[in-house]
Structure 1
Amino acid sequence: MSQSHFDKAVSCFSKAILLQSHQVEFYVQRAEAYLQLCDFQSAALDYKHACSLEPQTEAHPQRLAFIYYLQGQCCFDLGMFLEALESFTKAAELKPSFRLACLTALGRYSDCLQLVNNWLKTDGQSADLFTLRARLHHQLNQMTLCYHDLRSALRLKPCCPEAQALLKRIVPLKNTYFLPAHRGILYRRLKDFTAAIEDLVLSVEVRGAGEDPPQGDLQDNSEDLEEDAQTQLVLTYNDFAIQCFSRGLYGEAIMLLNKAIEKQRNASELFINRGGVD
């Protein structure tokens, strides 16, 4: 092992096991040699045997979980997704803290999000958990939720470097709220209302959170665009509600119209539309 002759090490440990099959350390050492050879299956079998000989030792199942996790990563990289899922499942069963890493490796960000939501309920709020959830929202392209979680993280820990770095990525320039505002308007015209709402809410929230106003040629138009983003958001809620109503989704239509009215209480047509739904 010390000279990296892992094949020979496996042979020697196998002979030792034949002579003294009750020695747990022999199985552990052979498993580590197998691991160096990327023979995850054999390494897992030896650690399972070690677990049966010393069930009270916590280190063995934890190492076994790590082996399953590595095996899952390799299978996933090779496109063997069913085998990867099986290995990740075994790893998570042995070590629940691996569950998030396994789900992330499989690209199951929605399941990861549910897991972090549960942690926030059971373990309490923390900057690390808010930042983690912000990363998941970012992966799911839920930029408004990502932004709010980063703000929550920085309120709890103003010097949190991970939150600050991600916030700079989603708000890289002082006039960043212009970009989602324009994009949201385009999404509304394409009748992609969910995407439009996401971008328009982000634009309004970023501007309303006290971000510095834009500089240069865009400065004079900042207030006009902010007001337009608010108006476009209300119109998007209204258009989305009409679409829901036409599909018989009356509860969703009322909810969307309520959101529109919250933003613009002096628009009589919104009340008329809500009355028509009722």
Structure 2
Amino acid sequence: MEAPELFATAVPEEQLEGGRERALRRIFGPSQCLRSVERPRGVGSLPAIVQGRMWEHWQKGRDFSSSDRWEEAIICYTKAISLDPWRPLLVAMLTSLPCRANVCWTRSSTVRPWRPSHRQPSCSLTAGCSAREALSLFCSMVCLAALGEFPEFLQMLNRELEEDVRNPDAYVLRAFFYNRFEQLALCHQDIQRALKLEPQHRAAQALWHRLLRQGQEAKSQAVLKALCGDLHGALYKISLAIESDPLAAEFFTLRGTLLRLLKNFSAASKDLARARELSTVGSPEAREAQRQLVLTYNDCAVHCYALGRLDEAVKLLGEALRDERMEQGIYANRGECFFRLGELAYALADYQQALELSPGNRVVQGRIAAVLHEKGRQDLAARRFLEAEACFSMAIEHDPREALYYLDRAMAKWCLGKVESAREDVALSLWLNPTDSKILSLARHLFPRKTVQAILRSETGRLAQQTLDKILQCPPRLPSDDA
């Protein structure tokens, strides 16, 4: 059964065939060679044709640029951009042309102000106007940037973004030029805005990866400059790295360390605190940021100590100990601040904590002895002789090489009526320092009409020598007769 005719026509087939023949004659003329071609082959799809023409114009533009034919290059690049406006390479080629060529293009172009009366939400600069108007707007912005008229370029692009805040392409374009003019922090912001609107935006991702590479390169240069002693140059490079990638904790740690070495403690503390925030808890990056922050507090406290700002130094060391309780040096430094402030109990507590963390540390032991000696002198002045004797004895246990401790203990014993024990302490102090005027003065009272050598060769002197041998395990040198 035959199918019914779907599209019936009243025109006879003979008339249709005659119309075809007349049309072919108008197209091909008298030639008969193309009459048999039913369908052209190898033409390809429309996108492929557009891309091919775009690359053809781009190549011609490069050729013209190499021979300094700037006006022709501008025309070719503009044609390529009209076929693919968002290819960053084309934009870069156009903006890299000399200013005089862009001036010629700007003067010869017929750019009209673009004032669309209303626009629908879109993701392209071409929305809301004709393609010719959008291309004119785009190319005028590109030329303004190439001419160095950056404020005017930003004004035009910002106006576009005010009208359409959900335009990732516009953010990418502005980020591209921020990167070109080394405003990396603003470039990073616009990239993030574009990726938030369109996470798979290829141009934004490419520019983002470029920023990451720039950040790592700047960090490497900062490290090299720091190793060479150029701290200010290193600081500049690592600041560029942070602008490129403000979420890299290692960059803030390095800049904080450099700022600490340059004694800019306030800025260093902020950077290291930021590095700690960006790091994963317990990670090596977090531990290093923490360590550098503690060192910053300590160095700042040392600086304040040198200036006599002891209360401020104590507060800074307290901040350091809040984050790091296993660093004996910080306890020792705070103990020194308390000692100078006259807070002997607090000073002694910090020194003892430092000694627990570093057993056998002779420097810390010496500081503990100094605190106990000062406490003994206060008790001696207040006529608390037993307490004074006990403090001097503990001071000697921590630092048995200090002659003054034996002398003051001898004074406390003498006041308590322990004359023989006081004589032994005087002999001990003479073995350690036979020329000290204070020791010689007390020796004349406890050993009337005897010389120093006679005192040391007496029974008391020999017992004192044996005691020192046990304590120091190295016998002191016998003083000469004229000492």
Which TM class, normalised by the smaller chain length?
0.5 to 0.7
Q: How many residues were matched structurally?
A: 190
Quote the residue 2:345 is aligned against.
110
- The one of 315, 319, 329 equivalent to 1:86 is 315
The answer (yes or no) to whether the contact 1:180–1:199 under 8 Å persists in 2 is yes
- The one of 190, 194, 207 equivalent to 2:422 is 207
The alpha carbon displacement at 1:64 in A equals: 1.2
Cα distance per residue 1:102-136 (max 9 Å; x no partner): 1322423321224456789x99x979686553221
Kindly provide the amino acid, as one letter, of the partner of residue 148 in structure 1.
Answer: S
The answer (yes or no) to whether the contact 1:109–1:140 under 8 Å persists in 2 is yes
Quote the residue 2:246 is aligned against.
21
- Residue ranges of structure 2 left out of the alignment (5+ in a row): 1-225, 378-387, 431-442, 451-483
The answer (yes or no) to whether the contact 2:275–2:289 under 8 Å persists in 1 is yes
**Is the deviation greater in 126-135 or in 32-41?**
126-135
> Structure 1 residues 71, 119: CA separation in 2 closer, same or farther (over 3 Å shift)?
closer
Structure number with the higher helix fraction is 1
1:98-137 aligned within 5 A: 98-106=330-338, 107=340, 108-115=343-350, 132-137=367-372
Q: Larger RCO: Structure 1 or Structure 2 (Cα < 8 Å, ≥ 6 residues apart)?
A: 1
**Is the deviation greater in 18-27 or in 37-46?**
18-27
Cα distance per residue 1:42-79 (max 9 Å; x no partner): 11112212222333143332321121121122223334
The answer (yes or no) to whether the contact 1:144–1:201 under 8 Å persists in 2 is no
Quote the residue 1:10 is aligned against.
235
Q: Provide the alpha-carbon RMSD of the alignment.
A: 4.0
2:396, 2:312 → 1: CA distance?
A: 39
> Structure 1 residues 24, 217: CA separation in 2 closer, same or farther (over 3 Å shift)?
closer
Counterpart secondary structure, 1:164: coil
- Residue ranges of structure 1 left out of the alignment (5+ in a row): 154-162, 182-196, 223-278
Kindly provide the amino acid, as one letter, of the partner of residue 165 in structure 1.
Answer: R
The alpha carbon displacement at 1:18 in A equals: 1.6
- Percent sequence identity over matched residues? 15
Kindly provide the amino acid, as one letter, of the partner of residue 233 in structure 2.
Answer: K
The answer (yes or no) to whether the contact 1:134–1:150 under 8 Å persists in 2 is yes
1:3, 1:11 → 2: CA distance?
A: 14
- The one of 380, 389, 405 equivalent to 1:144 is 389
Quote the residue 1:71 is aligned against.
300
Counterpart secondary structure, 1:21: coil
Kindly provide the amino acid, as one letter, of the partner of residue 31 in structure 1.
Answer: G
Structure number, greater radius of gyration? 2
Q: Could you state the TM-score of these two structures normalised by the residue count of structure 1? A: 0.53
The answer (yes or no) to whether the contact 1:180–1:202 under 8 Å persists in 2 is no
1:127, 1:37 → 2: CA distance?
A: 30
The answer (yes or no) to whether the contact 2:369–2:394 under 8 Å persists in 1 is yes
Say whether 1:165 aligns with 2:401. Answer: yes
The answer (yes or no) to whether the contact 2:389–2:413 under 8 Å persists in 1 is yes
